[in-house]
Amino acid sequence: MKKACNGPNYSSFTQKVVMSSQYFILVIEDDLSLVQLLSEFFSSKGYHVDIAQKGAEAIDKLNGHVYDLLLIDLKLPDMNGIELVKWVKDNSPDTITVILSGHATIEMTLEAISLGAFDFLIKPVQLARLNIVVENGLERRKIILQNKKLIQELQIAKKDLEARIRQRTEQLKKSENKFRSLYDKAPDVYYTVNTRGQIIDCNKMATEFFGTSKRKLKAMHLLDLYTSEYFELVSKMVPTPDGKGGKVRHQEVKVKRGDGSIADVEINSNLLFDDNNKVIGALTIQRNITARKKAEERLRESEERYRTIFQTAEVGLIEMDYSHLKSTLEQLKDQGINNWQDYAAHNPEFARDAARTIRSVDINNAGIKLFKGETKEDLLGPIHRFFVRESYKSLSKIIVAIASGHETYHEETVLQTLQGEKIHTLVSLSVPIEKSELKNMLVSVVDISERKKVEEEKDLLLTKLHHLNKQLETLAITDGLTRLYNHRFFMENLNREFSRAQRLDQPLSLLIADIDDFKNFNDTYGHHLGDEILFRVAEVFGNSRRGSDIVARYGGEEFVLLLPDTTLDKALLLAEKLRQNVEKTAIESPEGNLKVTVSLGAFAMDNNNLPNPKELLIMADKGLYMAKKGGKNKVCSAVEAGEEAYNGWKSQIFNG
């Protein structure tokens, strides 16, 4: 049965020309007159149009250029249009494909849709209808590309977050290892040089390592200690007044010892300043990494050298006196308290009291900067000044860790600067071991506010991605004009519901409806009123939908209603109700109220009397044919054709 295609008139699309100027359409058609028509039409809409008359020519163009949408003739001189759709799916899956055909079977339609075709249109196709399909296809491609972009942005944000976390973790680990190593282990070699690179002081390990006396070593230059291949490194080790030279970090080299053996060493150099903040030299630490033994015995660095390491750390380091807290915990242990988590939960004021007894006794430059102090003295004393309400929950966990005997602990918490500005931080503490001579615990504080911001941005991107995915899912299954399900969604559910009905031995009914004389309506009143009556009829069908029913626009002015667990008798009653409701429906126009009627065909699979869903469509369509032939505005079923005709049709289905 020939069906009229319908869509908005051309003038309704002019508002979208500006947006479509960025799109490229490839028309793959061997009919030159149709190619010229399509090319002129879509060029007038602002699209970039290219043409190909054969499948091979189209593949060549696709290999050399990115196209947003393809209009593919089903029958090409050198290949089947379905084959080209499959090639596009494998090689350019984001490109939208639309099949144009002078004829089509259910199998062709299903195959094209399963291979990724956006739509399957029957020639002759009205340009307005085709333009709607093209606009919907390009809108779908736009959302797909936006979706990919968001995924890429999420991946970049994830990598950036991971890199920042790794960087912060590595910095914290290096700072902690450097301080702990210098604090607990003596370095192999220490020597001080002036701004000319001359050695002015050294330790005993330096004389043993280089095999000479302190007097002779003090008469040497850095170039006397290292071979010429390390000239560039030595140049960096010489301190300069501008502070650029004299700073070397973690340089690993091979050095010849006094006994002639070769040792692998790590060199670190730090600047020394006088009271006027003038560069006077550099302290170089040469650590023997060949055998890291007896480190505690070699820990003889002076307070000045300790201060150098402490002050040059890149993260905030705070030395804290927690003796009062330690004494309080010992008293509680003597009283029989051993479940510290339970004690902290029932005594929330304990953390607040502890914050007033724990005192910062030293803080490095990075810590002063982090908490926005002007001098070290601004930040010394009880630590409760840096706490906000949410800080005390973290402090409670830290106290539990200390009471439980943990030597190290890490906790993310919110602190505040002296000006009351909140900062997200990672707090790590190192508690002295029980027999250590050290009494204070060392706490490092890293500002992770930037990481928190990245995490929030990541959550926002995930929310946007979820929203776009929902839009894409809705667009993929909805007809743009009627807001009913589209042809593709209906076909997918037809197969599923048919299999379900067969498996459970339940009835499955199908109604096919067609607006009577719709082409004449369009020709008489115009496509804009045609669109409106289509929408109103679709509204009638949609309002009749039960929970499990599928109501869809099948194409043009045809609609389908798939009715699970519904017998033919019930389907016919519903069809008649729909016919009457449509007959009562009218739209206003300058010519007065306009009405249309519909013809409906019905059929039901019952007792597994059909082999496949295609035959359910065929039998329902035969009912529609009977309704049209019988005068239109009717509801008919193939069963009403008489036993002989009905049995003949069934015989053709099961044998053919």
DSSP run (H or E) holding 478: none
Q: Are strands 69-73 and 96-101 parallel, antiparallel or unpaired?
A: parallel
Q: How far apart (Å, rounded) are the C-alpha atoms in residues 123 and 389?
A: 72
What are the structure tokens assigned to 458, written together? 């990541």
Q: Give, rounded to a whole angstrom, the gap between the first and last alpha carbons of the chain.
A: 21
Phi, psi of 337 (to 5 degrees): -80, 125
3-state secondary structure of 411: strand
Residue 315 near residue 444, CB atoms below 8 Å: yes
Amino acid code (one letter) for 322: Y
Sign of the Cα torsion 133, 135, 136, 138 reads positive
For the question of residue 557 being annotated catalytic, the response is yes
3-class secondary structure, 597: coil
The letter for the amino acid at 355 is A
From 135, 301, 497, 557, active-site residue: 557
Distance, CA of 529 to CA of 522 (rounded, Å): 7
How many C-beta atoms lie closer than 10 Å to residue 312's C-beta?
17
Four-CA torsion 447, 453, 458, 462, nearest 10 degrees: 140
Output the six-digit token pair for 406. Answer: 């943990």
* Burial track 166-192 (b if 16+ CB lie within 10 A, e otherwise): eebeeebeebbebbebbbebbbbbbbb
CB 84 within 8 A of CB 92: no
Q: How far apart are CA 566 and CA 499, in angstroms?
A: 15
For residue 281, the tally of other CB atoms under 10 A from its CB is 22
The closest of 248, 250, 228 to 238, measured between CA atoms, is: 248
Task: Tell me how crowded residue 64 is: count the other CB atoms within 10 A of its CB.
Answer: 7
Residue 424 buriedness (CB in 10 A; 0-12 / 13-18 / 19+): middle
Q: In what order do the strands lie in the sheet with 508-515?
A: 550-555, 558-564, 508-515, 598-605, 635-637
| Own/partner long-range contacts of 445-450 (Cβ < 8 Å, ≥24 apart) | 445/315, 445/316, 445/317, 445/318, 445/367, 445/370, 445/415, 446/168, 446/171, 446/172, 446/315, 446/316, 447/316, 447/370, 447/423, 448/168, 448/412, 448/424, 449/423, 449/424, 450/164
d(CA 272, CA 191): 12
Query: Sign of torsion, CA 73 78 81 87?
Result: negative
Q: Distance of CA 73 to CAs 54, 112, 417, Å?
A: 9, 12, 70
Cα angle for residues 356, 360, 362 (degrees, 5° grid)? 170
d(CA 472, CA 96): 14
Taking the C-alpha atoms of residue 60 and residue 57, their distance in angstroms, rounded to an integer, is: 5
Query: Catalytic amino acids?
Result: 557
